[in-house]
Structure 1
Amino acid sequence: MKKVSFAEFGGPGVLHLVDAEEPHAGPGQIRVAVRAAGVNPVDWRIREGQKLGAHPIELPSGVGLDAAGVVDEVGEGVEDVEVGDLVFGEGASTYAEFAVLSAWARMPEGLTFEEAAGYPSVVETALRIIREVGVRRGQTLLVSGASGGVGSAVLQIARDRGIRVIGTAGAANQDYLRSLGALATTYGEGWVERVRRLGRVDAALDLAGTGVIRELIDLAGSPERVVSIADLGAPELGVRFSGVAGSMSEALATAADLISRGKLHIPVEKSYTLAEAAEAHIDTQAGHTRGRRVIVI
């Protein structure tokens, strides 16, 4: 089979499309014929050699955690899906024609493979950081870098929970944030005052890692009211860096419920082939994404 692999840490150029042996499902796992794989910031961080504590790997290594596809192998003890079922979930080395998943859910009706591949990690992350930052119904959450996949999920999950959201993004994504129910403003010079004019902030999330932790602490009133998933230096200022995933199975079940109820939709901004994985990483690292980027097999 074809898969994307890298034999050394580094920039996008270390990614190569190679021939590899097909993986097989072990106990409690399933194998899918991958139809689409989600592209996440954690993918390029791992490729660069970051986050090795949370995602220890051995080189050469495959790439990718999220996938949507057709079940074609069921491991021992798995009883909730059968060969031929359409699923989305999380596994390892998902930039490939076949991948083994360790957590999955049936794809909600009407969802395409491309769309489904964009949900697992971002929904788990969104649910986790909303919980960790401690924001409650009736309060206001500030989301810095709100237009990407995690931001799109946070805005919609918060709205479903009765949480008011202020989101920052580039000028081109202001209407997009408003369509998701957020009060929107641009980042850049004067952004703190623009946020203040929109109202009091009870908690804040840093999704972009653009060096705004001090400002978020000031707006939220305390480091304990700020969580980052993008600034590795955040703990130096007393802010939690959230990088260890919670229950993916619970997140997938929540995602399927929200999608089925029409409360969650994350658009696919751009699709790539396996051979274009390096381009996908370059675009993802550049930011300014509206929704998700996926690799289609």
Structure 2
Amino acid sequence: MEGVTTMRAISQDVLGGPEVLKEVEVERPVPRPNEVLVRVRAAGVNPTDWKHRATGGFLGEPPFVLGWDVSGVVEETGIGVAAFKPGDEVFGMVSYPFGHGTHAEYVTVPARALTHKPAGIDHTQAGALPLVSLTAWQALVETAGLRRGQRVLIHAAAGGVGHVAVQIAKARGAYVIGTASAGKHDFLREIGVDEPIDYRSTDFAEAVRDVDVVLDTIGGDTGLRSLRVLRPGGIAVSILPVGSQEFYDEAERLGVRAVRMLVDADRAGMRAIAELVEAGQLRATIAGTFPLSEAAKAHELGETGRTKGKLVLLAD
């Protein structure tokens, strides 16, 4: 909007619980060369948000504005941007971890992190997808090379990354085993899980065998025990980038592969995700939406660990 130089954003001055989040007025960013200024319509909230809010994580000490998912409208383009023009509806994930800042009315994003929003979904749906979808795509497709007929075990299959990973795995033609509490098993079947496992009553490491790929969204002992369910030459991909050397050592002993990864912004990945959306093969389940001003409530709900799917902030 002409003449507007400030915007609302959710920031914090100290590390701590959801109560440290506050709405502030800050200077509206200006896109640099190869950047796009996006008017945020919706932005997902992910576990990485509340972890960084509480510990600082990769970002260190506040103040900072969290948020990596974005769906919105191009407001302005920087020098050299050829793919987008003002008014285009776009979605994507800003560079992880240092491109944070989507929990605001506007954000600058590298043009190559964005793609056009599929016309068939709204901004809430689009804002829920990028980080979890890119994580699942990069883990299952790019890292593990998942293909038709393979068996995949997805931990926390009803969660943000998990429920999207299930749909991507099914679109690849895989047989999907998913862990979740018994109350979420109907949901798992709805999104395509072939074999739900109640992790509270069943030891997955005893119940599952000859798996080609494991997606570990939990880490620690779960990641370690997951190695035992892999067939020789199988791969476990953990999206928890830091952990003990034992994960690698045990994989080598068992004749399987173990990889840790961090999601990274990528237009090619976003285009692949958009194609799955357009083909009706991928949809985010929305666990709740909150206005930007109620970001703390979204964090509180997310930290219960009981939600199915994604939480989304609406910047309108």
Aligned to 1:293: 311
Classify 1:222/1:14 alpha carbon distance in 2 versus 1 (closer, same or farther; 3 Å): farther
Aligned to 1:213: 223
**Unmatched tracts of structure 2, length 5 or more:** 1-6, 95-99, 249-257
Matched, 1:227 2:237: yes
**Counterparts in 2 of 1:52-91, with a 5 A limit?**
52=58, 56=59, 59-91=62-94
Classify 1:181/1:195 alpha carbon distance in 2 versus 1 (closer, same or farther; 3 Å): farther
Classify 1:234/1:257 alpha carbon distance in 2 versus 1 (closer, same or farther; 3 Å): farther
CA drift of 1:24 comes to 1.3
> 3-state SS of the aligned residue for 2:211?
coil
**Counterparts in 2 of 1:119-198, with a 5 A limit?**
119-130=129-140, 131-182=142-193, 183-192=195-204, 195-196=207-208
CA drift of 1:222 comes to 7.0
CA drift of 1:93 comes to 0.8
CA drift of 1:181 comes to 1.7
Q: Deviations over 1:240-266 (max 9, x none)?
A: 3322x3452111101111111111111
Aligned to 2:102: 94
Matched, 1:37 2:51: no
d(CA) in 2 for partners of 1:57, 1:100: 21
> 3-state SS of the aligned residue for 1:147?
coil
Root-mean-square deviation (Å): 2.2
Greater Cα shift, 256-265 or 182-191: 182-191
Classify 1:210/1:178 alpha carbon distance in 2 versus 1 (closer, same or farther; 3 Å): farther
Give identity over the alignment, percent: 35
Q: Deviations over 1:58-116 (max 9, x none)?
A: 63111101111111111111122211111112233111111112221111112111000
**Unmatched tracts of structure 1, length 5 or more:** none
Q: Is the 8 A contact 1:210 1:231 kept in 2?
A: no
d(CA) in 2 for partners of 1:65, 1:246: 11
Aligned to 1:116: 126
Letter in 1 for 2:189: R
d(CA) in 1 for partners of 2:238, 2:18: 24
d(CA) in 2 for partners of 1:206, 1:35: 31
CA drift of 1:206 comes to 1.5
d(CA) in 2 for partners of 1:188, 1:72: 48
Matched, 1:274 2:280: no
d(CA) in 2 for partners of 1:10, 1:286: 16
Letter in 1 for 2:107: A
Number of residue pairs matched by the alignment? 291
